[in-house]
Structure 1
Amino acid sequence: MGSEATVPPVDVAVVGAGLAGLTAARAVQRAGRSVVVVEARDEVGGRACSRELGGQMVDFGGEWIGRAHRRMHRLVRDLGLDVEPAANLGRPVRWRLPDRSTTGRLPPPRTWPGLARAIGRAAWQSRGIDPEAPWTARRAAELDNRSVAGWLDDLGLDTEARNLLERLIGSLACQALDAMSLLHLLWLLRIAGGPVRSMNATFQWRIRQGAQQVARRLAEPLAVVLNTPIERISQDGATAAIQATELSVRAGRVIVAVPVTQLPTISFDPPLPGDLQRLPDLHIGPGTKVIALLPQGHSVRHNTVLGGGTLWGGWRRGDRVSGFVPPAGADAHDDALVADLASAFDVRPDQLRSPTVMRWADERHIGGCDAVFAPGQVCALGPLLAQPHGLLEFAGAERSSWPDNMEGAVRSGERAARRTLAALKDSRLSTTPRS
C-alpha cells in the first residue's frame, strides 16, 4: 500500500492474529457480524509456531493439549485436525541430579519424602482456589505475597528433591522461582485438578499437523491483514478506529488480542485508565526452546529429561528431541544449548540433525512466552485482566483462567467475542449492512 488505506467499516476489528484473536473473530463472524483481523507479524498464530524440521512438523511455541483442555479439543475436531499421544507420561525419565543421573519411571527413592511433602502441601493449599478468580481465595493475599522459592525454603527439602522441584516448576513457568507468586503456582495446579493430575491435564497430546495449523485454518475464512502493526486505537463513544501507518479501520467494537507487554506500543485515545496501564508490569518469560533430530537408528530408553544445569527439561518423540531453557540460561550460546540437549539423550552434539534454537524473547511483537505473576501481582493485576475499556475488549492467554497455554488463549477469545456481541446487540449497533 502507498498512502493510508481505509478498509470499509466493520462491526468488529480484532488486533492480533494469535489463537485468542482468531477464535474471537471466528465467533463474531459466525454470529453474522462483519469482522477484520489486523496482525503485526507476517503470519498468523502468535506463539503457536510450527516449522518443518527434517521432514517433520515441529512446534517451537505452544505444543501440548491435555484432557482438561476441552475448548482446544473441540476446536481441533471442528477444524479437521488430529491429535496424537505425546508418549512421554508413564515412560522412563532421565533424572539429572547435581551429582549423578538415573533413569526410571520414578525419581530416586531418596527424593520421595521431600517430593511427597511438597506435593501434599501444594494439594492442600490449592484447595478452595477459584480458577476463574484466584484472588478471591481465603488467604489469597498471604499466598500471593510469597514466592515459590520462599515456599520451597520453608518446606525444608533435601538438596535433590529441591533441585528436581525447582527444575520442574521452573521449566513449566519459564521464570525464576523467586519471581513467581505462590498463588500463581497453586492457581495453575488447581485448574489442572491438583499436583498429581496436572501432567495428564496439560501434557497428554499434541496436534499432528502442528499447533500453528489451528491458527491457519481459523484464518482461512476471515479477512486478515498481515504486516500491519496497529499504532493507535481511538474511540468517540459511538465507534472506534484502529490505525496503522498504512491502514485505518472504523468499527463498532474492537478486540485487542496482543500480549500485555505489547500494549505500550499502541496509543489509546482516550488513554487506558491508570490501573490498566499497570498490566505491562506482568512478566513474560523469555521462552527459549531447542529442538533437533537424533541420529538415524539411535536408541534411547527415556522419553523425558528432568533436571540439569543448562536445560531444565527435555522430551522426545520418535527421533525428535526438544529442550526447554530456564530464564537463567536464556543468554547461553546456541552451541551450549545444543550440547546439553545432545548430552541429555546420549549423543554427541555433532550427531544431532538440524539443531534449531527458538528465542521467543527476540520475536518482534511478541517478546516472550508465558505470563508469570510475580509476588503480589495475582491480587493486584488479576482482576484487571478481563476489564474492558469503553468499546474495547481484551483477549490473550494471560487474561484467562489458563494463563500459560493455548486453552487459555481460546477461552479468552471466546469470552471477548461473547461480550462484544452482547454489547453490539444491546446498542443495536452495526456499522455494516446485515445479510
Structure 2
Amino acid sequence: MKEELFKNYQKRLNALEEDIRDVVLKYAEELYLNQKCSKDEAIDRAIARAEIEKRKLQSVVEVDHPSIQSDVLIVGAGLSGLTAASRLEQKGLNVLILEARNEVGGRTKTKMLNSIPFNMGGQFIGKRHIRMQNLCRALGLHLTINKLNKPIAWFSGNKTWVRYLPPISLMDAAKCISIFFKLNFMARGINYEQPWLSQKALHYDSISFETWLQKQNVSQRLYDLMKGVMEGYANVPMADISFLHALWWISRSGGVIRALQNGTKMTVTEGAQSISQALAKKLRERVFLNHPVTSIEQDDEKVKVSTKTSYFITKYAIVTAPIGTLHQIDFYPAMPESLQEMINTIEAAKASSVVTLLKSKKEIFSDVAINHKVFPLAWRDDALKLKGLTLSDDLPEAEYPHALSSCFTEQQDNVEAWAMENWGNNPYFKGTYIVFRPNQLTKFGPLLRQPLDRVFFAGAERSSWVNNMEGAVESGELVADLAMNLLIERKPI
C-alpha cells in the first residue's frame, strides 16, 4: 500500500538511508490518509520526522549553529509571539523567537504599492482596543482615525443604492431595530472571557447566524444586506457562523453598533505590519527568520524545539502558529486526542484581500460598499486606496481589482496598481482568522488555552477579542505571564 501510494517519489525515497526509509513510508501513509494532506507535504513531513527518529538513535544532531538554551522559546513572530517575547524580555528572561517565514508580522501584512502602504491582512484598531493603542504609542507609531463621511453603496440583487441608510422600507427598518435589540439583549448574557460557559451557550452554538436570522421573518432585501455585513466582517458564509460566535463578538464589542463602527475606528499610519517590525527590531538577534519548526519534544525538565537544521533547548515554549497549521509540527509526547481533533476540525476563513491604488482622485460618491457580488465588504482607506474582502475564487485574478473598483463606480482605466493576498492558499496561515462553526465553540472552546505541560499556545483565536489584533496582543500578554509565574524560583536547566 505504501509503495503504491508513493511510487512517484521512489527517487527521493531511494536517496534515504535504509534504516529510515520504512519510517518515512509508514508516517507518510498515515499523514496522507488520515490528515488528507498532499503527497508532497506528507513526504516532506515524514522525512523530517524520520530524521528526528534517526537522531534519537544516534544521540547526535548536526546543526547550523550550536544548540541554544533559553528560558522561553516562542514559535511564530506575529503580534502574539512578539508581544509575549517583549514582555518576557523586559523581565530579564532569556527569550528566543523562531519564525518560519522570511519576515515578521503574522496575519498583519503591509504591501507597498508605489511607495504607499496597503494593509493586506489585519489592520483595524477599535476604540476599546486599549492594548493596541498603548502598544502603538510605545513604539512611536501613529494612528489614523478613519473618517467615513460619504454614503454607503448598498447592493441587493441587480440593484445598487448610494445612501447613508440601508434601502429598506419602514417596516424593514423597524424589524432591523428589533433585531439589533434582540442581539444586544442576548449578547449581554454572554461571558466574553469564556463564552462556552454562558447560560445558553449550547443552544446558541447549535445554530448558525443564518438559521437564527431566517427565523426573524425578514424581507429578502434586508436579509441580503445583513448577510453582506456579516460575511464581510466574518470572512465566511453566514451559514458557517455559529450564533454563539456572533453573540460573543457583539458582547465583547459592547453592542451591535459598536461592533460595526468602533472596531474599525483607527488604522496604523505606517501599516499594521510595522508594529511587529518595531517589536522585532527591539529584540534584535533573538528573532530567527526562516526557521520552520518541525517538532517539539518535552520531558519533566525541558523542551527541545527542532527545525530541519537545528535544535534549541528551552525551559518553556510558546506556540503562536494558527490552529489550522499545528498539524505541521510533531509533538512528543503526542497531543491528547481532544486537541488533535480540534486541530483537524477548526479551519480559518478562506478569504482573500484585494487592494487597489487609483491613478487620480475623482468625485467620491461612497466610502463603503456592502454586499457586492464579489466583495461582501469593501471600503476606501483614503481617496486613492481601495480594499475589499472576497470569499470568491471564481474570477481570473486580474479581474479582481476591476471588480473592486466597480464597488465605488471607479472606471477600470483609473487603476494604477493593485495586489491580492489569498490567505486560504498561504501554507503558513491557511486562512484569515478563526470563525467557529455551529457546535464547535462549546466543544473546543475549553481547549483553546489549554497548555501541554511546558508548551503554551497563544493567538487571537485564543483570546477574548477573537477576530482582532487586540486579541493577539491580549493572548501574548496572558501566556507570557503564565510562563513567568512558572519560572519564578526555578533553577536553570
The TM-score, its normalising length taken from structure 1, stands at: 0.95
Alpha-carbon offset, residue 307 of structure 1: 1.4
Q: 2:316 corresponds to which residue? A: 253
Alpha-carbon offset, residue 87 of structure 1: 1.7
Q: 1:239 corresponds to which residue? A: 302
Q: 2:3 corresponds to which residue? A: none
Q: 298, 323, 326: which one pairs with 2:362?
A: 298
Superposed CA RMSD: 1.4
Alpha-carbon offset, residue 3 of structure 1: 4.0
Amino acid at match of 1:349: Q
Q: 1:144 corresponds to which residue? A: 205
SS at match of 2:256: coil
Amino acid at match of 1:46: G
Q: What is the distance in 2 between the residues matched to 1:105 and 1:395? A: 39
1:287 equivalent to 2:351? Answer: yes
Q: What is the distance in 2 between the residues matched to 1:6 and 1:130? A: 47
Q: 74, 95, 98: which one pairs with 1:38?
A: 98
Unaligned runs of 5+ in 1: none
Q: 1:325 corresponds to which residue? A: 390
Instruction: Note if contact 1:76-1:214 (Cα within 8 Å) is conserved in structure 2.
Output: yes
SS at match of 1:364: coil
Q: Deviations for 1:331-373, whole angstroms, at most 9, x for unmatched residues?
A: 4322332222121111222321102111111222111101010
Amino acid at match of 1:201: N
Q: 1:186 to 1:18 in 2, by over 3 A?
A: same
Q: Relative contact order (alpha carbons < 8 A, sep ≥ 6): 1 or 2 greater? A: 1
Q: What is the distance in 2 between the residues matched to 1:77 and 1:166? A: 36
Alpha-carbon offset, residue 61 of structure 1: 0.5
1:97 equivalent to 2:152? Answer: no
Larger radius of gyration: 2
Q: 1:345 corresponds to which residue? A: 408
Q: What is the distance in 1 between the residues matched to 2:250 and 2:372? A: 23
Instruction: Note if contact 1:146-1:181 (Cα within 8 Å) is conserved in structure 2.
Output: yes
Alpha-carbon offset, residue 295 of structure 1: 2.9
SS at match of 2:68: strand
Instruction: Note if contact 2:358-2:417 (Cα within 8 Å) is conserved in structure 1.
Output: no
Alpha-carbon offset, residue 21 of structure 1: 0.5
Deviates more, 1:286-295 or 1:65-74: 286-295
Q: 2:82 corresponds to which residue? A: 22
1:430 equivalent to 2:492? Answer: yes
Q: What is the distance in 2 between the residues matched to 1:272 and 1:139? A: 30
Q: What is the distance in 1 between the residues matched to 2:101 and 2:289? A: 6
Q: 1:208 corresponds to which residue? A: 269
Q: 105, 108, 113: which one pairs with 1:48?
A: 108
Q: What is the distance in 1 between the residues matched to 2:289 and 2:394? A: 30
Q: Deviations for 1:253-286, whole angstroms, at most 9, x for unmatched residues?
A: 0000100011100000111112211222112001
Q: What is the distance in 2 between the residues matched to 1:296 and 1:430? A: 61
1:78 equivalent to 2:138? Answer: yes
Instruction: Note if contact 1:67-1:200 (Cα within 8 Å) is conserved in structure 2.
Output: no
Instruction: Note if contact 1:361-1:369 (Cα within 8 Å) is conserved in structure 2.
Output: yes
Q: 454, 470, 490: which one pairs with 1:407?
A: 470
Amino acid at match of 2:228: R
**If each structure's helix is expressed as a fraction of its own residues, which one has the higher value?**
2
Runs of 4+ in 1 over 4 A off after TM superposition: none
